[in-house]
Amino acid sequence: MAENSLLKTINQGATWFALPELVTYDKRNIYFLNDSVGFFLAGYGDIYKTTDGGMIWSWITTNCSTTITEEDIFFPEQNTGYFGGWYGSCASKTTDGGNTWQVLPSNLLYFIYSIYFPSVATGYMAGYISGQMKGIQKTTDGGITWTAQNTPTSTYNSIYCIDSNTCYAVGPNGTIIKTTDGGLN
């Protein structure tokens, strides 16, 4: 298998086949809305979209420079999605299914490692803020404003929410936290 291969299964993982080669600087994350439409994050500001299940990928223009490395992408619904990565000043939102992207406010985490939206309006970003004990941020207005959450450490690698109030986050050295009140505690 070539280094730039993407693999696909259509039988719940029993067998896999290689998709046409996609040459990128770095492979970071993949997210599918359904069997046909998906997004692929590559390093250095590159995002690709497929509408045919991964056979053809089209490069999408973003408002990011080539210095960002995207880490995560998440769509709470078919048209609305978010991506973020190193240097949070480039985190972006789409409201048209990923065809165009608008940069989010500049007060975000320095590194955004994980994004999760349990609803279209409420979402969380986990990552790192230099020198502060607030490695998770929350929005309740669809990404217009973000608030730092009261967390015990400054870095979190992943976040997952069951609903708008109950979320789990993991960080380095075995750190696992949970909130049941929307991030207040």
- What average pLDDT does this structure show over 59-85? 80
Domains of the chain: total? 1
In this prediction, residue 133 carries a pLDDT of 62
Asked if 165 contacts 180 with a C-beta cutoff of 8 angstroms, the reply is yes
| 6 in any annotated domain | no
Residue 51 located in a structural domain: yes
Q: Is 27 exposed, middle or buried (0-12, 13-18, 19+ CB in 10 A)?
A: middle
Residue-averaged pLDDT of the chain = 84
Position 110 confidence tier, pLDDT thresholds 50, 70, 90: confident
143 in any annotated domain: yes
Range name among 28-42, 77-91, 109-123 with the lowest pLDDT average? 77-91
Quick: pLDDT tens for 115-161: 999 999 999 999 887 666 678 999 999 999 999 888 888 789 999 99
DSSP helix/strand/coil, 8: strand
Domain limits for position 97: 26-179
- Which CATH number fits the domain that encloses residue 167? 2.130.10.10
> In the numeric block, which tokens belong to residue 171?
């960080």
Query: In this structure, are residues 40 and 6 in contact, taking their beta carbons and an 8 Å threshold?
Result: yes
Work out the pLDDT band at 1, boundaries 50, 70, 90.
very low
Is residue 145 included in any domain, yes or no?
Answer: yes
In a domain, 112, yes or no: yes
Is residue 32 a part of any domain in this protein?
yes
What pLDDT digit, counting tens, does each position of 38-58 carry? 988 876 667 889 999 888 888
| Structure-token pair, residue 110 | 């320095």
Does residue 17 form part of some domain? no
Domain-located, residue 47? yes
